[in-house]
Amino acid sequence: MTRLADKYKKEVRAKLKDELGLTNIMAVPKIEKVVINVGIGKASQDKQWIEIAKSILERISGQKPIEIKARKAISNFKIREGMVVGTKVTLRGQRMYDFLDRLVNSTIPRFRDFYGLEPKKGFDGNGNYTMGFKEHIVFPEIGMDDVEKTHGLEVTVVTSAKDNKSTLALLRGLGFPFKKDKETKK
């Protein structure tokens, strides 16, 4: 069992039950999966760029990514139906907790001028939190020698929570570095 999964079961779950006023321990929100997505965009015509994005995503996640194909043609973007427009990985179980542990403890602290995640952005109202990275080189698995071009990626944490408040409480309990609310100023 990973450090983060152990922390959830031993500390966070009981604390969340009291904080959210739940009566059943099974009603406490938990993380269901993590989806890491790389949109290729303009480089979709270049097969080599697609392979580079897939190999980088595989190194970051430890799992082989799948290709995302366009559902319909868009002439303004020079995209045809069935064309590869991105790659993604869905992590569950042990790999999910390993990735989140690395994300919280080694990747996010490597940001330059980082003061905390914004608690009002990234939530979709249904218990999911998405954060975007402008460059993939913040991940420790990627060496500077391996980088030809930088690209961004999105990490979506899907939880069983029903609202933003529960999701924020869960992620804060797991150690996500959110900024403190400025409620003390009046």
Q: How many Å apart are CA 145 and CA 70, to the nearest integer?
A: 32
In three-state secondary structure terms, 33 is strand
Give the phi and the psi of residue 133 in degrees, each rounded to 5. -120, 130
Q: Which pLDDT tens digit goes with each residue over 10-58?
A: 888 889 888 888 888 888 898 999 999 988 876 666 777 788 878 888 8
85-100 average pLDDT score: 89
Q: Residue 70: its pLDDT value, please?
A: 78
Average predicted confidence (pLDDT) for the chain: 80
Q: Using alpha carbons, select from 12, 77, 71, 15 the residue that is nearest to residue 45.
A: 77
pLDDT at 45: 67
pTM, rounded to two decimals: 0.82
Whether 184 has a pLDDT exceeding 60, the answer reads no
Q: Looking at residue 23, what is its pLDDT? A: 86
Q: pLDDT band at 85, cuts 50/70/90?
A: confident
Q: Could you say which architecture CATH assigns to the domain 3-43+88-173?
A: 2-Layer Sandwich (3.30)
58-75 confidence digits (pLDDT tens)? 888 889 998 878 777 777
Give the pLDDT band (50/70/90) at residue 185.
Answer: very low
Instruction: Report the distance separating Cα 54 and Cα 49, nearest Å.
Output: 9
